[in-house]
Structure 1
Amino acid sequence: MSEQKYWSDPLQDSRPDLLGGDAIPSDSRHARQIARRQLIAETVIAEGSMRIEDLTSRFGISLMTAHRDLDDLAGRGLLRKMRGVVSAAPTSLIEASDLWRTSRQGAEKRAIAAMAAAELEPGQAAFFDDSTTVFEMVPHLTTRVPLTAITNSLTLMNALRSTPHITLLGLGGQLHNWCNAFLGPVTATSIRALRADLAFMSTAAITDGQAFHQSPEMTEIKRAMLNCADRRILLADHSKFTRRALHSMAALRDFDLVIVDDGLDPTLASQLLREGVRLKLAPLAGDDPAM
């Protein structure tokens, strides 16, 4: 029985393997697996909890396949399995997962990343965090070479590993499956031994002029990058201004530049500029250039 028969594959173009591999074609088995898992996650999150048997019938998959998919999603912090039932994890864990983040505000992230890449000059060294917004800079980096890219993101490492004229420095440490990145004391120590020209990073939430994140481990890594770069650039789509997270990372004024898409509330944009935040708005495709 074909699994594809019972559900619609939303991957209509090639995209990076969210599990850490190379770019893969949309009709590959792995791409269909990733798309199915994302649909399963969204279904469970929308309903709160479901019986695993109900998922097998809804997606036309075997019980064994369902358990493999759910084990992967549970490992990424999206879902929890217990006694034949799968339920959504707490919101903070869902929003931290790389699989979940990749599916959100795609057009905004691409516009922001294109503007951010223009800040790079050939010959520079830059930190790139594990955020999905920063990952969207990858297609633009070939025009900024030679370049030294320093990152804790396994996904980014795989995307750049064969790129000519990019020297890739991978930050080691403990690999966390939920974000597909290295975190922890070893990673932070590796960062502090370096000095880069720029640091590119994103954040989970922005409240009262302050950037926040759900994960204390992730916050530590981002702070280390901030402290070890000459210029600090924050990439954040407008939805981050409506979210909340627990751990304070840095004030927006601590960044040399904050890039947001032009969907940001104009009143809020004006307020940030008055408060001394160095702000640029990235226009979405078809928009007129913004400030």
Structure 2
Amino acid sequence: MDEKSMRYVSAPRRRRWILERLRETGFISVASLTQDLAVSDMTVRRDLRKLEEHGEVRVVHGGVSLLHGPMHNPAFAARSGLESAAKAAIAREAHEFIGAEDTVALDAGTTAYAVARALSSDFAGTVVTPSVPVIQLLLSRGRVRVVALGGELLHESQAFAGQMTVDAVKGLRVGTLFLGAAAVDERGVYVATDNERPTKLALIDVADRVVLLADHSKFATTAPVLLCPLDRIDALVTDGPLPDETEALLRHTSTAVILARPERSA
């Protein structure tokens, strides 16, 4: 929908839109909201007061912020901006695998974070994750139960890892794991560092279904650590055509391939 047409929609829909934007940015000015929604300053402030009354936002001087500010380091924020449209499209398709009360695991990484950001407002299930940005994001989603996998914090990936994290995974069971990757080829799924590998493998072991999230760039790059072969993957969600060798192997392993399309403007 054209943002300018928001003046004609209901107040609850405007407020949902404001929350979605806040989950992306952490802060929005009143002036920006007035322009984007094409409504008056008074209308915006009324919407913000209502959201604050429900404990969903904090109204601050000149604008509004989430109750808990963003905890992303610059490296994570920079990676989030790479192929952002592709990640958003992949996240939307990934939601076809999520029921309203499912137990899912979200891997560390920016594409899994996009899935968390796109969770439906109706979702009242459980999210298992080692990702600090995902945990922080879900603090504002009161209906969602979060199982945080603690351990040693890896500052580059903004995630917990190590033996304590692996031990925290043991004894759990999740319906679907949404797995990230640094690279993918016909040999399998790769990660950037070996200290990520044990946590990811532990999550794969406790998942009924593993869904790999990989934008087109992951098939044209390399990473040093092989995580797992493609036969450990039940489904792949991507936004572009696959290399012939990888596509042939995925057919051989009966891995479902879901092609995400960019969202069209109204």
Contact 1:253–1:278 (8 Å) recurs in 2: no
Report how far residue 235 of structure 1 moved: 0.4
Q: CA deviation at 1:120?
A: 0.8
| Residue 112 of structure 2 is aligned to residue 134 of structure 1 | yes
Amino acid at match of 1:176: L
Which one-letter code corresponds to 2:97 in the other structure? E
How far residue 207 of structure 1 moved from its aligned partner, in angstroms, is 2.1
- Counterpart AA for 2:27: I
Please list every run of at least 4 consecutive aligned residues from structure 1 whose deviation after the TM superposition is greater than 6 angstroms. Answer: none
Q: Which residue of 1 aligns with 2:178?
A: 200
Q: 1:158 aligns with which of 136, 143, 167?
A: 136
Q: 1:244 aligns with which of 222, 233, 236?
A: 222
Alignment partner of 2:203: what SS?
helix
Equivalent AA in structure 1 for residue 116 of structure 2: V
Residue 269 of structure 1 and its aligned partner are, at CA, apart by 6.7
Is 2:188 the partner of 1:185?
no
Query: Superposition pairs for residues 2-151 of structure 1, below 5 Å?
Result: 16=24, 23-25=26-28, 97-143=75-121, 145-151=123-129
Residue 176 of structure 1, CA deviation: 1.8
1:271 and 2:248 are equivalent in the alignment: yes
**Is contact 1:152–1:171 with CA below 8 Å preserved after alignment?**
yes
Deviation at 1:281, TM superposition (A): 0.8
* CA 124–253 in structure 1, closer or farther in 2 if over 3 Å, else same: same
Matched position secondary structure for 1:163: coil
Give the number of equivalent residue pairs.
202
Unaligned runs of 5+ in 1: 1-12, 18-22, 28-75, 79-96
Instruction: Give the drift of 1:151.
Output: 0.7
Q: Distance in 1 between matches of 2:144 and 2:157?
A: 23
Residue type of the partner of 1:236? A
Instruction: Give the residue type in structure 2 aligned to 1:200.
Output: F
- How far is 1:228 from its partner? 0.8
- Structure 2 SS opposite 1:141: coil
1:141–1:15 distance in 2 versus 1, CA, 3 Å: closer
The 1-side partners of 2:99 and 2:207 are apart by: 15
* Distance in structure 1 (CA, Å) of the matches to 2:88 and 2:125: 20
For the residues of structure 2 that align with 1:144 and 1:250, how far apart are their CA atoms?
Answer: 33
Secondary structure, in 3 states, of the residue corresponding to 2:118? helix
Q: 1:270 to 1:213 in 2, by over 3 A?
A: closer
SS at match of 1:187: helix
3-state DSSP of counterpart to 1:146: coil
Aligned partner letter, 1:244? T
Separation in 2, partners of 1:136, 1:158: 13
**Structure 2 CA distance, aligned partners of 1:16 and 1:143?**
15
Contact 1:183 1:217 in 2 (8 A): yes
* Pair 1:213 & 2:186 matched: no
How far did residue 264 of structure 1 move? 2.2
Identify the match of residue 175 of structure 1 among 150, 153, 157.
153
Tell me the CA shift for residue 161 of structure 1: 1.3
- Residue type of the alignment partner of 1:259: V
**Cα 1:215–1:26, aligned 2, differ >3 Å: closer, same or farther?**
farther
| Secondary structure at 1:102 match in 2 | helix
Provide the C-alpha distance between the structure 1 equivalents of 2:219 and 2:260, rounded to a whole number of angstroms: 16
On the 8 A contact 2:185/2:246 being kept in 1, the answer is no
C-alpha change, 1:165 and 1:285, in structure 2 (3 Å) is same
Aligned equivalents of 1:157 and 1:259: distance in 2? 23
